[in-house]
Amino acid sequence: MRRRKKGTKALIFLFAALLAGIGAYIYTSEDFEREAPQILIEKKIFWNMKKPIGITLKDNLGISSYKITMNDGKNEEVIYEQKLQKPLKMVTVEVDAPPGFTFEKKKAILDIEVNDASRWNYFRGNESQKRVYVIIDRKKPNQYVISNSYKITRGGSAAVIFKATDENLKSVYIKTNFGKKFIPQPFYKEGYYISLVAWPVNERNFRAYVVSEDMAGNVSKTYIRYFLQDKRYKKVKMRLKKSFLEGKVEDLASEYPETAKMGPLEKFKFINETLRNKNEERIHEITSKVSHDMIDDFEIEPFYPLKNSAPKGSFGEYRIYTYNGKTVSRSYHLGLDLASVKRAPIIASNGGECVYSDYNGIYGNMPIISHGLGLYTLYAHCSSVLISKGDEVAAKEVVAKTGSTGLVLGDHLHFGVLVQGVEVMPREWMDKKWIKLNITDVIKDARKMIDMEEEE
Ligand SMILES: [Zn+2]
């Protein structure tokens, strides 16, 4: 008796263990996995019918079959109905318009069904379904230039105002021949945009185009006609002095441990090139931002940051540094140097927002002010800065005192102007006539034309 009972128990235990084992096998085996296939496409897409619609199907075990149906409100057609002999982990299909489809309603529906090779679900596998709404858009954005500055000078700035409209507008920007994209800001009335553009001092040529793209990939591109004025910039030889290398250069280098084993000329090269690049990258990053808010106007007064000052170094100079007759390093000087008395007050001629106020390597203590429309001014080598990041700056406010922090010899102001991260000639923005002709009048003209257009 005892023995038999023991035997039954063992049998039941064995049977239970077997069931659990099968269960565990089904539950953990790849053959019975429960992960549904993925259908990689957005739920709503825009299609210009130039290229087929790409759909990617993915499954961890393998796709065994799929079916794709298109319906344009009038016709319905099964575009794909495939059973795969050998399951595939990834399948990409391209859907084109079937013949006879007219897309009169400029809409279509794609129904996608996919099964994987799993034995789960009583061997039917896991199924995924997705309905995709397709909006047919074959029309390019409508765009044209309303007005622009007559000319642009190498190293200088210009303005452009244009219209760009589309039912499904995605992005609007200004493309240039040197890879920089300028981002326009909405202007005055819906569908209009304004942007400042800049011709970098080290670029031989300048070409700019208004580009707008819609959600379906239709693109419009319009050349902006500027009269191009080339300008030659000075090459200036700067003789390095031993006292400068041992003083200022040594001081600056001591902040960077990687220069510890360098000789004095190597240290200068490091500061004038490696550190300069780093410092200028930071400036470009801070000054690249543009607001997306609509603006009606852009009133700007000529900049006059330092009273009774004398120019010491001009914008765009190509400086060649020599020591004992040998060239040590080269760099572009990307601001205007002005000198007055020591610790002279620096005035922000236009209001704005302080977006940076800190020490920045060779530029020393340096505040940057954003004046809107992607226009920024910076004031380098200050002995003290009176504004902080986030401060609203009033026009005519004293923002800092000149000094000799950073890579400089004597007390002076390095005045920099930037348009969306590109250094430009400060002289233009200090010139009342230039501002009127190239900025203010362009805006005035554009507003008149827009008003006339809207009345029609
Ligand atoms: Zn300078």
pLDDT in tens, 255-287: 999 999 999 999 999 999 999 999 999 999 999
What is the CATH topology of the domain spanning 142-231+440-455?
Immunoglobulin-like (2.60.40)
DSSP state of 167: T
Under a CB-based contact definition with an 8 Å cutoff, are residues 274 and 361 in contact? no
Mean pLDDT across 118-131: 82
DSSP, collapsed to helix, strand or coil, labels residue 210 as strand
Beta strands in 123-187 (DSSP E): 127-136, 142-148, 151-153, 157-165, 169-176, 181-182, 185-186
Residue ranges matching CATH 2.60.40.1930 in the chain: 142-231+440-455
Residues 208-230: pLDDT tens digits?
999 999 999 999 999 999 999 99
- Which two structure tokens, joined as six digits, stand for 216? 């379906």
How close is the Cα of 251 to the center of ligand 1, in Å? Answer: 19
Q: Which band of pLDDT confidence, cut at 50, 70 and 90, is reported for residue 2?
A: low
Instruction: Look up the pTM and report it.
Output: 0.86
Give the model's pLDDT for residue 11. Answer: 83
Mean pLDDT of the chain: 93
What is the CATH topology of the domain spanning 235-423?
Glucose Permease (Domain IIA) (2.70.70)
Residue with tokens 């290229």: 51
Q: Which band of pLDDT confidence, cut at 50, 70 and 90, is reported for residue 334?
A: very high
84 phi and psi angles, rounded to 5 deg: -95, 135
| Domain 30-136 coded CATH 2.60.40.1220 | yes
How close is the Cα of 408 to the center of ligand 1, in Å? Answer: 8
Mean pLDDT across 109-125: 84
How close is the Cα of 13 to the center of ligand 1, in Å? Answer: 88
How close is the Cα of 380 to the center of ligand 1, in Å? Answer: 8
Residue ranges matching CATH 2.60.40.1220 in the chain: 30-136
How close is the Cα of 59 to the center of ligand 1, in Å? Answer: 60
Residue ranges matching CATH 2.70.70.10 in the chain: 235-423
Mean pLDDT across 301-326: 94
- C-alpha 159/C-alpha 428 separation (Å) is 13
How close is the Cα of 203 to the center of ligand 1, in Å? Answer: 20
How close is the Cα of 69 to the center of ligand 1, in Å? Answer: 66
